[in-house]
């Protein structure tokens, strides 16, 4: 197991793609690269190495190793943590937490990956969730998948021809999944019970919204899509 140093070669497979005063999103290159994976593996603790070895496919193992190492590096470099003492666990609600010497750190972060792309989201204030999806991963968008959307959103999808429908589908999907990851509920929350602001289906890159059963909490949804993938973050806005 190795430590992290600023500007060392261990920073070669990730870079910041979005940053504000209270949030940061890091892109992780998950493409096949033996050198990167070897360096990454050396930064993991014993339990993480066992988990990596348990994956049945090389792709899943590589995604886990590169994402987890990048997460460790960013946590250590941003918060001056000791990688030898850092542990990363998933709680019952599956939101990961950072632990040092048995103490859970008050650091909010979230992770998502798809094929060759991973995203790490960090928040200085409030909860945060992130989702990234490969638009080509679903050759056919089955209407069964529409059940995650509100009636209004379902009507919009059915009325929109391809290829615009695919773009709207993945925008809605990433917005909703980022939000339910931020709340910590995942798909235990009925995502058909709320609608995403219409502005986010057009040219707007960010918008705010609330969930009717969590009064007083405002969420900022940010579109981070590129030509290569659909992606979004949802962050809880905290009054200064």
Asked if residue 154 and residue 114 are part of one domain, the reply reads no
Asked if residue 117 and residue 153 are part of one domain, the reply reads no
- The average pLDDT across 14-32 equals 96
- What pLDDT shows up at residue 137? 80
Asked if residue 116 and residue 53 are part of one domain, the reply reads yes
- What pLDDT shows up at residue 133? 96
Asked if residue 77 and residue 18 are part of one domain, the reply reads yes
Q: Which of 76, 105, 124 is the last residue of a domain?
A: 124
Count the domains in the chain.
2
User: Does 91 score more than 70 pLDDT?
Assistant: no
Asked if residue 34 and residue 68 are part of one domain, the reply reads yes
Confidence of residue 151 (pLDDT cuts 50, 70, 90): very high
CA distance 23 to 28: 16
Q: Is 176 exposed, middle or buried (0-12, 13-18, 19+ CB in 10 A)?
A: buried
Per-residue pLDDT of 174-215, as tens digits, reads 999 999 999 999 999 999 999 999 999 999 999 999 999 998
pTM value is: 0.92
User: Does 64 score more than 50 pLDDT?
Assistant: yes
Residue 28 lies in a domain: yes
Asked if residue 142 and residue 105 are part of one domain, the reply reads no
- What pLDDT shows up at residue 7? 47
Residue 3 lies in a domain: no
Asked if residue 111 and residue 17 are part of one domain, the reply reads yes
Asked if residue 17 and residue 108 are part of one domain, the reply reads yes
Asked if residue 72 and residue 116 are part of one domain, the reply reads yes
Residue 116 lies in a domain: yes
Task: Answer for the pair 115, 134: CB distance below 8 angstroms, yes or no.
Answer: yes
CATH at 29: 3.90.470.20
Asked if residue 158 and residue 84 are part of one domain, the reply reads no
Average pLDDT across the chain, whole number: 91
Asked if residue 164 and residue 116 are part of one domain, the reply reads no
Q: Which of 68, 96, 124 is the last residue of a domain?
A: 124
Q: Which of 69, 100, 124 is the last residue of a domain?
A: 124
Asked if residue 102 and residue 42 are part of one domain, the reply reads yes
Residue 90 lies in a domain: yes
- What pLDDT shows up at residue 142? 76
Range of the domain at 75: 9-124
CA distance 200 to 208: 10
């Amino acid at each position: 197991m190795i430590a992290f140093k600023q500007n060392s070669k261990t920073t070669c497979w990730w870079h910041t793609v979005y940053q504000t005063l209270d949030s940061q999103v890091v892109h992780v290159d998950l493409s096949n690269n033996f050198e990167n994976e070897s360096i990454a593996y050396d930064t993991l603790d014993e339990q993480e190495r066992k988990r990596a070895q348990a994956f049945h496919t090389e792709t899943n193992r590589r995604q886990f190793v590169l994402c987890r190492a990048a997460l460790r590096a960013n946590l250590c470099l941003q918060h001056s943590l000791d990688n030898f003492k850092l542990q990363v666990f998933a709680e019952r609600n599956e939101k990961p937490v950072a632990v040092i010497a048995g103490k859970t750190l008050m650091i909010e972060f979230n992770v998502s990956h798809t094929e060759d792309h991973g995203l790490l989201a960090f928040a200085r204030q409030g909860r945060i969730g992130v989702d990234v999806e490969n638009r080509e991963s679903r050759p056919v968008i089955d209407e069964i998948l529409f059940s995650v959307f509100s009636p209004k959103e379902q009507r919009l999808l059915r009325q929109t021809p391809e290829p615009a429908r695919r773009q709207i589908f993945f925008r809605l999907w990433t917005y909703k999944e980022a939000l339910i990851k931020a709340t910590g509920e995942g798909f235990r929350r009925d995502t058909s019970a709320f609608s995403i602001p219409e502005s986010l289906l057009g040219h707007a890159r960010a918008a705010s919204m609330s969930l009717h059963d969590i009064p007083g909490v405002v969420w900022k949804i940010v579109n981070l899509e590129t030509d290569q993938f659909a992606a979004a973050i949802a962050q809880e806005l905290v009054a200064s």
